[in-house]
A and B are shown apart, each in its own frame.
Chain A
Amino acid sequence: MAIIAAQDLVYDYPGARALDRVSFEVAAGTITALVGPNGAGKTTLLRCLAVLDRPASGRIWLDGLAVADHPRECHRKLGYLSDFYGLYDELTVRQCLIYHAAIHEISADAQPEAVARTAARMDLVGLMERRASQLSRGQRQRLAVAQAIVHDPAVLLLDEPAAGLDPEARWKLSTLIADLAKGGMTLIVSSHILSELEDYSTHVMIIRGGRLVLHKPLSEAAAEIGADEAVPQTCMRIEVAAPDAGFEKVLTGFKAATRVAVHGTSASVFIPADNPTRVALLRHCVQAGLLVTAFGEDRARVEEIYFALSQTPGAAPAPARGAAP
């Protein structure tokens, strides 16, 4: 059942159309990776879903409620973390959480329990009496996420939540997002760090130029790559023992490969989904002198799906893993 439904959303800025007849449905309990280039309309879409901005036309329903008609009721069910969030630097972590619990109508009796639960979840217990201004960047990010989930919303919208976090903090955030979804929360996560989205996303939504390019379960999205090819495609993952300058050249030299993406010592190669081609690819790699340590079929990564489906015709090949689009 769809917990979020959008129909024909149009949003204009002076000089640009940020959303152009965008329609989709998001099922409850899913994690949707919202990806697209800068200025694609991701933030505008999230702000419209969060009832912070009103689209010029089109409708949004949240858990069956039309958001334009019931903004306050929808805010009870929503958590949102913007890409450039702010904190009350003069307040302690505890005060920040109490305030956000209170403005989401959590009763005074229930506030201590909600605050304690969220603090434990976000690893903030030891920082409760510290002022927000005294927190590190990662701690501030955790507090911002804690504020967004303290009222246990049904839907959580995260806009670039991992920006500026160190690897450990990013890993913790990924774990948290997966945990929240396991608890029944529906999440839409916009991020430029595509490699991380695949760790927890169940769906991928690609938006470009204000238009929805793709919205599918991640497992099905891979099939979109090369869908225009005459033969069904599959994604093969190849690992080599050490970084090799000729790695990409060898793979692109395989004539049956329709797309190639190299990330350090691993690569994804899209080829026709038949055994003779798989065998031929492995033979091609070995004969070219690559020290292949792993070879097998894999689900396509968000990054690959994104670059395959959102890049403009004639654009450069997919950049290395982790690079911003």
Chain B
Amino acid sequence: MNGNPEFRRNLWIQFSSTRVLVVSMLTGLLLFCAIALDVALTAQTKFVPEIVSYVARWLATVIVIFWAGYQAAGAVVREIRNRTWDAQRLSTLHPWSMAWGKLFGVTSLAWTMALIGGVVYAAAAAYIVYAVAESNVVPRPGIVVTLGVTFGYGIVCQATGLLVSLARLSGRPGERAGGTMAAHVVALLAIAVLAAFATWPLENEGRWYGLRLGEPALRLVTIWFFALWAIVGVYRRMRRELQMRSAPWVWLLFLTTLVFYGEGLVYGRGQPEAALLLPTAILILMLWTMTLVEAKDPLTLRQCLGWFRRREWGTAASLVPLWLVTFLAFAATVMVSIVFASVNPGLRIVRIPFLGNADALLILVAAFLYLARDVLLVQTLTLGRESNLAGVAGACILFFLYLAVPAVFIAGKQKDLLGVVLPTGQGGWMICLLPIAAEVIACIVLFAWRWRVFWRVNAAKAPAA
């Protein structure tokens, strides 16, 4: 029985006597200080179970999100920096073994401490509930759900961090490892978005497609739904790193289930226009994420096109970048939504907070044009000298276009003209579509020019054929 060698290797490293000793002492010291401080301030000991419960819970949360999250985000980055990644890629380990061995291996010590924190929290909370009946600190919505949510967020954060660092690999030799911190920040943003998503059921009494699951259960299911998908994402990306062909079907399945899940939350709430626009909104979020996060390599894109031309579909599909797949899925979603809006006139009018009524058709067409512009802009940046900074530069440009410029319009009391810079669907097609259509054409011209220059320069540098 071989077990999982990658997991075992991580256990050897993580559970060195020094690490275990230091971590245990720090954790114990923190708990002791919290209790001592509480007793010193209140001059009583009756609140000790509550403070223990509180501290243990937050300790577990901090450990799984910040410590273990950072460890997971840096799992592959450290291998690349230490030049051990190639040896791992040369192994015959199955990508699934490599994925979970790495994800839960590098976080094994952190998870052990978090689980101890969880047990302490559960014991203290149970004591409060069952032994200190007069206490007004009765945990809600329940010990198991609280721990489930905490650990679920932890897994989402860790798997997303590892996934982001894998997605940032270009697969080029001599690759410089991306920043662990950057991958961790993206993971933290992901759980912030998920937290917003997961609290949605609060307003809905935990209904999903009309089924009343209850808010805690739906929140728990939501978090673990994303946690499992994040783990699947790590596995799929690991397949690619280990040179196994991976067509983007699973990514498309993820986008589909994401839309399906989101639609379930707005179902039956009497907001058909929200149901109409939600799939587009979800795909915009995913498209921005992939465009900014995924490694940008014009050579791989050209290789992919080359394999398509040679009709080697399998190889071509395994090289196709996910931002392109997401863009195609986004375009298809917009088209389907336009058809729905066209055949259901009742869906045409959308109420936008602070702005009033807008035309759903205009919103959809404008959203497509805005995203086409964004993708073209970022891809054009990848053809520059500092292609590795294209993601950061793209994020700055998008921040400027979507937040700074509209802020100027609002400050200048030109709300009616916001349609020029945002897909508000207001002001008719002249305001809403014409300017962005011109921008898209300009971006296409710019991209085509940069693409030609890029390959002309490369052809000049390459040895004569």
- A235 to B171 CA separation, bound complex (whole angstroms): 45
Q: Per-residue 0/1 for A206-219: is the Cβ within 8 Å of any B Cβ (1 yes, 0 no)?
A: 00011100000000
- A102 to B1 CA separation, bound complex (whole angstroms): 10
Q: A17-B462, A56-B299, A84-B83 are in contact. Are A99 and B5 (CB under 8 A)?
A: yes
Q: Within 8 Å of chain B (Cβ to Cβ): is A240?
A: no
Q: Which 10 A-B pairs have the closest CB atoms?
A: A86-B83, A102-B5, A103-B91, A17-B462, A71-B243, A86-B84, A15-B461, A86-B82, A209-B463, A99-B9
Q: Which residue of A lies closest to B244 (CB)?
A: A71
Q: Within 8 Å of chain A (Cβ to Cβ): is B2?
A: yes
Binding site for B on A (CB under 8 A): 12-17, 20, 43-44, 47, 50-54, 56-57, 68, 71-72, 75-76, 78, 80, 82, 84-91, 95, 99-100, 102-105, 107-108, 147, 209-211
Residue in B91, B242, B298 whose Cβ sees the most chain A Cβ within 10 Å: B91
- A65 to B246 CA separation, bound complex (whole angstroms): 19
Q: A20-B463, A85-B83, A103-B93 are in contact. Are A91 and B172 (CB under 8 A)?
A: no
A-B contact pairs, 12 of them (CB 8 A): A47-B173, A72-B244, A80-B90, A82-B83, A86-B79, A88-B84, A90-B16, A102-B2, A103-B6, A103-B91, A103-B92, A105-B2
The answer on a CB contact under 8 Å between B172 and A13 is yes
Residue in B5, B13, B82 whose Cβ sees the most chain A Cβ within 10 Å: B5
- Distance between B341 CB and nearest chain A CB, rounded to angstroms: 43
Binding site for A on B (CB under 8 A): 1-3, 5-6, 8-9, 12-13, 16, 79, 82-84, 86-93, 171-173, 242-244, 298-299, 303, 306, 315, 387, 457-458, 461-463, 465
A residues in contact with B315, CB < 8 Å: 68
Residue in B84, B242, B462 whose Cβ sees the most chain A Cβ within 10 Å: B462
The answer on a CB contact under 8 Å between B299 and A15 is no
Q: Which residue of B lies closest to A76 (CB)?
A: B92
B residues in contact with A43, CB < 8 Å: 173
The answer on a CB contact under 8 Å between B462 and A12 is yes
- Distance between A91 CB and nearest chain B CB, rounded to angstroms: 6
Residue in B1, B16, B86 whose Cβ sees the most chain A Cβ within 10 Å: B86
The answer on a CB contact under 8 Å between A16 and B462 is yes
The answer on a CB contact under 8 Å between A17 and B463 is yes
A residues in contact with B5, CB < 8 Å: 99, 102-103
The answer on a CB contact under 8 Å between B86 and A52 is yes
Identify A75's interface contact among B9, B91, B173, CB under 8 A. B91
- A105 to B93 CA separation, bound complex (whole angstroms): 7
B residues in contact with A84, CB < 8 Å: 83
The answer on a CB contact under 8 Å between A86 and B87 is yes
The answer on a CB contact under 8 Å between B463 and A15 is no
Q: Which residue of B lies closest to A157 (CB)?
A: B90
Identify A80's interface contact among B79, B86, B242, B458, CB under 8 A. B86
Q: Which residue of B lies closest to A17 (CB)?
A: B462
- Distance between B380 CB and nearest chain A CB, rounded to angstroms: 15
